[in-house]
Amino acid sequence: EARPFAYNKKSLFCDGVDLRKLAGEFGTPLYVYSAEQIGYRYELFEAAFQEHTHTVCYSVKANSSLAILKLLGERGAGFDIVSGGELERVRKAFRPALKKVVFSGVGKQVWEIDAALKADILIFNVESEAELGLLAERAAAMGKRARFALRVNPDVFAETHPYISTGLSEHKFGIAIGLARAIYKKAAKNKSLDAAGVSVHIGSQIRSVDPFAAAMERVTGLIAELRTDGHQIRYVDAGGGLGIDYSQGDFDPAAEVARYAAALGGVIEGLGVRLLLEPGRFLVGQAGGLLTQVLYVKKNGAKTFVITDAGMNDLIRPSLYRAHHEILPVKQGKDAGKVDVVGPVCESGDFFAHDRVMSAVKPGELVLIEDAGAYGMSLASNYNSRVRPAEVLVEGRRARLVRRRESLRDLMAAETV
């Protein structure tokens, strides 16, 4: 697989576009995405699951750019949303996909439930008994029948960062699988509810497929019981979470997704359900990079700091999860040294790399923080009153500004003195 970011005559390109040109035209910090890579990853998922009736519901939170939602929607993707805001984004980006929306999240509000019912989304992934009660009430008030799946907590351990692991009983997510059957029984008596599925999500950036299979085994066990009880379960939602490689290792996405499909497929074989998948990171993570300019290089004691114009407000993953991101100089260089790459924000936690061996860069030069397409811009903030970056979508040899840089006026638009 060709990675979207590669050197071409000593300068780093995204597909057919020189990153120096993008920086010149749109400024920095700048998120750059490869449309080709996103499409390719989506098609890998489609191909890997072709033997199963399925819908790939892209997890909007990973990157909620309207242009990316449209690109995926047009290819046939559904969407996994967690808020009324994300629902609105799907509506705006590609309206026909509303009927392929799954609504997850532990804290759905009345207006969000109402909006989703009105949009006639595919299914609600319900995370508590109280939420199910509210859903029934709102559906009744609107004269509708709400399709739901309980998100069950399978109590399966998935090795990943503790902040993004979700499938243990100590986590706030889902309903303990042992309690689910009784809740479905109760729901069957309510005419406003349609117990259409079961869902599960055990965490994110999971590199082994075993925990996915283990969780799915518990879910299929539950489905057998539910069918005995007379429920017509038509959907099983496997959640998201398939990880990517953030180092410069050999990563074969086709093989990864094939292993994932084999693991899940092996468990749901013959179940006669539509499989819903909620990948986020796997589809967009490696398609994006954060392009930033070096402002200063300075030495403090034994350390050399490369200070960039991007900060933790633009990409928080290293600060929040100690996540590793490769950093490449746009101008291919040689003499390697050890540096800390840091942002301008007033916190020691504002860093992209510690003690990183990379080729020397000078003020004014550009570097690319790789694999920033997922949970980059979607987690960006205005901390330190910094405007959020612009976003560019590269389509072959062309680049399109899909979100302009915020202005100082945007920064204060919602405020009064």
Show binding-site residues: 241, 278-281, 317, 321, 347, 375
Site for ligand LLP in 42-101 (CB under 6 A): 59, 62, 80
Between 100 and 399, whose beta carbon lies closer to ligand LLP? 100
- Among positive and negative, which fits the CA dihedral 224, 226, 232, 234? negative
Q: What residue has token string 């509210």?
A: 134
Cis peptide before 29 (omega within 30 of 0): yes
Spot the catalytic one: 346, 357, 413, 417. Answer: 346
- 29 or 285: CB nearest ligand LLP: 285
Using CA of residue 208, residue 180, residue 173, residue 99, what is the dihedral sign? positive
- Tell me which residue has tokens 């998201």: 240
**DSSP E strand stretches across 61-173:** 78-81, 101-103, 123-126, 146-153
Calpha distance 3→15 (Å, rounded): 8
* Beta carbon nearer to ligand LLP, 124 or 282: 282
Task: Give the SS3 label for residue 380.
Answer: coil
Under DSSP, the state recorded for 244 is -
Beta strands in 161-262 (DSSP E): 175-176, 193-199, 235-237
Q: Which is nearer to ligand LLP, 45 or 184 (CB)?
A: 45
Residues 290, 26: contact at Cβ < 8 Å? Answer: no
The nearer residue to ligand LLP, 12 or 113, going by C-beta atoms, is 113
When binding is defined by CB under 6 A, the residue of 28, 37, 63, 104 that contacts ligand LLP is 104
Of 286-305, binders to ligand LLP (CB under 6 A) are: none
Q: Is 230 helix (H, G, I), strand (E, B) or coil?
A: coil
Q: By CB under 6 A, is residue 204 in contact with ligand LLP?
A: yes
- Give the binding range for ligand LLP (CB under 6 A) out of 2-10, 33-41, 112-120, 277-285: 277-285
When the beta carbons of 305 and 321 are compared against ligand LLP, the nearer one is 321
> Cβ 407 to ligand LLP, closest distance in Å?
27
List the one residue from 154, 197, 211, 239 that touches ligand LLP (CB under 6 A). 239
> Is 346 labeled as catalytic in the residue annotation?
yes
Segment contacting ligand LLP by CB under 6 A, of 135-143, 211-219, 275-283, 351-359: 275-283
Burial of 393-417, coded b for 16+ CB within 10 Å and e otherwise, reads: bbbeeebeebbebbeeeeeeeeeee
Using the rule CB under 6 A, is 388 a contact of ligand LLP?
no
Q: Kindly state the number of chain residues that form the binding site for ligand LLP, as judged by CB under 6 A.
A: 22
User: 304 and 339 in contact (C-beta within 8 Å)?
Assistant: yes
Please answer whether residues 2 and 251 qualify as being in contact, where contact means their C-beta atoms are separated by less than 8 angstroms.
no
For residue 256, state whether it binds ligand LLP (rule: CB under 6 A): no
**3-state DSSP: the chain helix, strand, coil percent, rounded to 5?**
35, 30, 35
**Tokens at residue 89, please?**
């984004």
Using CB under 6 A as the binding rule, whether residue 278 contacts ligand LLP is answered as yes
Could you tell me which residues are annotated as the binding site for substrate? 281, 317, 321, 347, 375
Minimum Å gap between C-beta 207 and ligand LLP is 11
- The least CB distance from residue 409 to ligand LLP, in Å, is 29
Contact between 325 and ligand LLP per CB under 6 A: no
Q: Does 164 bind ligand LLP (CB under 6 A)?
A: yes
Query: Which residues are CB-neighbours of 162 under 8 A, at least 6 positions away?
Result: none
Sites of contact with ligand LLP (CB under 6 A): 59, 62, 80, 104, 164, 201, 204-205, 239-242, 278-282, 317, 321, 374-375, 379
Catalytic residues: 346
